[in-house]
A and B are shown apart, each in its own frame.
Chain A
């Protein structure tokens, strides 16, 4: 009985997801351009958040390197965008981030706790300063022009990356890797002791999740036609995924997605108040911790359970 019900539930969930996907596929033809770019923004942050949380959620490591991976992807497009077809550019953007994350992962994942957070923050800021110095003193310019792609191309590429990110995250969590990650989060010594190659698991997961961030950077930059280090390695990109995941609820994939969708829409709405934007944004960040420490998912669950009891 229970099995049938569980199977039914899963079937309806799948149906619901396919339904949403179909809507997303056909929507650009039916809504104004503004909403398409809003959706693009939502896609971008969802990929960042889901990638971040797939690694950082179960392990408890706080990575502030998302900006480094996104910026790397953007600079790959700036460098080879004119020479190589677009799908390859996106692939290379992802691969560059993958390699960078693998390198960082192998070197730094022995660092734990708060050290990992400041190491990764230093990585993205350091990379920004290094590239900035290189561009000004060696190449002799501050920013770069990039190729621009049609809006629909960007939209569907982002949609594919988003679906792949969520799918990859789902598969990682279901696999032995996911269990190993959770083990690392609960007690790293013990995980090591029962035969999990802790450093390999961490480095590979970190690299795989960073691949999607790099690919996102590579395609999203074609919206802007110009990029410099300040926009590519904007430190906000490192902090927002963390906030969005916590805002939604750190335990579940749907929490991460919900968090990024709601948070992106809120920040978009805040643009109505250009002079108080940062003030309100900062207050929202702090309120998340003061009032929703278990995230939106926690609030909904609490409300749902409370409703059932009464």
Chain B
């Protein structure tokens, strides 16, 4: 059952991709920050989970509840202290978007250095729920299934939050048309902080989930950021729901490529990404 094997592995990867891309998409879609340091928050999430698990024995599933709120606060603070100010200095939205890439590149260096000082440069990891589980003939460690399940739960609850609550609707309105949203009484500055915080929260949660399956180091961030960028372009830049679906699709594709030609999966993702930008820059779900 190789086909099933590949599909399940793809969904497992895709669930994580969807989570980290949704956070990235939220930060760009509403706060207009193309956050190159997004992967750094994932790394911090993984490191935090490690530091809670190894000395204190706190279950990573519990860490999710600890990491989430803290990362939300950190994210909104960074927006308040840094990006709010730069948004004012930049003047126009286009200039700010350009600057935000470079400012978050600076942030990437700072966060990476702090993690290096706190945890050192070693590759780390811990074993959590490494029980083999037979799923329709394919064998997977239990931690992957738990991570997938949680990614789906987090992704779905986030989806319902966006679609069905007043706050979620306000976020989508702000992503679609900032001036229009302000006209109907949405406080846009508040939205910026909220969405940057949510982005950091989702990255932190993705980091905790990743830490239960893979090894991690202070340098792991950038590749995850790039994957988030690719997924977000596939789903449509600023289209938060599109990035949830795009994540699953890319997970499947990379799993298929991994099966045919190992080592080429990232390069194929890039080619797809560039092709996408050339042919359909609005993404597969763009109108």
Residues of B within 8 A of A115 (CB): 237, 277, 281
Interface string of A93-122 (1 = CB under 8 A from B): 000000000000001100101110111011
Residue of B nearest to A118 (CB): B229
A285–B106 contact, CB under 8 A?
yes
* Known A-B contacts A289-B102, A290-B85; A279 and B237 likewise in contact (beta carbons under 8 Å): no
Q: Tell me the complex Cα distance, A125–B226, Å.
A: 9
A62 proximal to B (CB < 8 A): yes
Residues of A within 8 A of B264 (CB): 133, 137
Q: Tell me the complex Cα distance, A276–B109, Å.
A: 10
Residues of B within 8 A of A284 (CB): 106
A141 proximal to B (CB < 8 A): no
A283 proximal to B (CB < 8 A): yes
B109–A111 contact, CB under 8 A?
no
Q: How many interface residues does chain B have, given as a range?
A: 35 or more
Q: Tell me the complex Cα distance, A192–B245, Å.
A: 38
Q: How many interface residues does chain A have, given as a range?
A: 35 or more
Q: Tell me the complex Cα distance, A290–B101, Å.
A: 14
Residues of B within 8 A of A117 (CB): 34, 98, 101
- A17-25, A73-81, A213-221, A239-247: which lies at the interface: A239-247
A286 proximal to B (CB < 8 A): yes
Residue of B nearest to A137 (CB): B263
B267–A235 contact, CB under 8 A?
no
Q: Tell me the complex Cα distance, A279–B40, Å.
A: 14
Query: For window 52-66 of chain A, which residues contact chain B by CB distance below 8 Å?
Result: 60, 62, 64
Of the candidates A64, A113, A239, A278, the one having the most CB atoms from chain B within 10 angstroms of its own CB is A278
In the complex, what's the smallest C-beta–C-beta distance from B277 to chain A, in angstroms? 5
Contact of A122 among B82, B105, B270 (CB under 8 A): B270
Residues of A within 8 A of B90 (CB): 293
* Known A-B contacts A107-B278, A277-B113, A279-B114; A130 and B267 likewise in contact (beta carbons under 8 Å): yes
Residue of A nearest to B274 (CB): A122
Residues of B within 8 A of A279 (CB): 109-110, 113-114, 117
B142 proximal to A (CB < 8 A): no
A286–B34 contact, CB under 8 A?
no
Contact of A114 among B89, B97, B106, B112 (CB under 8 A): B97
B34–A114 contact, CB under 8 A?
yes
Query: For window 267-281 of chain A, which residues contact chain B by CB distance below 8 Å?
Result: 275-279, 281
In the complex, what's the smallest C-beta–C-beta distance from A277 to chain B, in angstroms? 7
A129–B267 contact, CB under 8 A?
yes
In the complex, what's the smallest C-beta–C-beta distance from A29 to chain B, in angstroms? 37
Residues of B within 8 A of A140 (CB): none
Residues of A within 8 A of B86 (CB): 289-290
Residue of B nearest to A136 (CB): B263
B89–A293 contact, CB under 8 A?
yes
In the complex, what's the smallest C-beta–C-beta distance from A60 to chain B, in angstroms? 8
* Known A-B contacts A122-B229, A282-B106, A282-B108; A133 and B113 likewise in contact (beta carbons under 8 Å): no
Contact of B112 among A123, A246, A278 (CB under 8 A): A278
Query: For window 71-127 of chain B, which residues contact chain A by CB distance below 8 Å?
Result: 82, 85-86, 89-90, 94, 97-99, 101-103, 105-110, 112-114, 116-117
B109–A278 contact, CB under 8 A?
yes
B150 proximal to A (CB < 8 A): no
A126 proximal to B (CB < 8 A): yes
Query: For window 121-175 of chain A, which residues contact chain B by CB distance below 8 Å?
Result: 121-123, 125-126, 129-130, 132-133, 136-137
In the complex, what's the smallest C-beta–C-beta distance from B208 to chain A, in angstroms? 24
Query: For window 129-151 of chain B, which residues contact chain A by CB distance below 8 Å?
Result: none
Of the candidates A115, A125, A242, A246, the one having the most CB atoms from chain B within 10 angstroms of its own CB is A125
In the complex, what's the smallest C-beta–C-beta distance from B216 to chain A, in angstroms? 18
Q: Tell me the complex Cα distance, A286–B105, Å.
A: 9
B171 proximal to A (CB < 8 A): no
Interface string of B239-278 (1 = CB under 8 A from A): 0000000000000000000000101101100110110011
B230 proximal to A (CB < 8 A): yes
Residues of B within 8 A of A130 (CB): 267, 270
Residues of B within 8 A of A133 (CB): 263-264, 267
B222 proximal to A (CB < 8 A): yes
Q: Tell me the complex Cα distance, A278–B85, Å.
A: 23
A62–B98 contact, CB under 8 A?
yes
Query: For window 142-178 of chain B, which residues contact chain A by CB distance below 8 Å?
Result: none
B113–A113 contact, CB under 8 A?
no
Residues of B within 8 A of A123 (CB): 274
Of the candidates A60, A111, A282, the one having the most CB atoms from chain B within 10 angstroms of its own CB is A282
Query: For window 220-244 of chain A, which residues contact chain B by CB distance below 8 Å?
Result: 235, 239, 242-243
B101–A286 contact, CB under 8 A?
no
Residue of B nearest to A62 (CB): B98
A285–B109 contact, CB under 8 A?
yes
Of the candidates B109, B233, B278, the one having the most CB atoms from chain A within 10 angstroms of its own CB is B109
The 9 A-B residue pairs with the shortest CB-CB distance in the complex, in nearest-first order: A126-B270, A285-B106, A282-B109, A282-B110, A278-B113, A279-B113, A286-B106, A282-B106, A278-B109
A122-B226, A122-B230, A276-B117 given. 11 additional CB < 8 A pairs? A62-B101, A115-B277, A117-B98, A118-B233, A119-B274, A279-B109, A279-B110, A282-B107, A282-B109, A286-B103, A293-B90
In the assembled complex, 21 residue pairs joining A and B whose CB atoms fall closer than 8 Å, in A order, are A62-B98, A111-B278, A114-B34, A114-B237, A117-B34, A118-B277, A126-B267, A126-B273, A129-B267, A129-B270, A130-B267, A136-B263, A137-B263, A137-B264, A276-B113, A277-B113, A278-B112, A281-B106, A282-B108, A290-B86, A290-B89
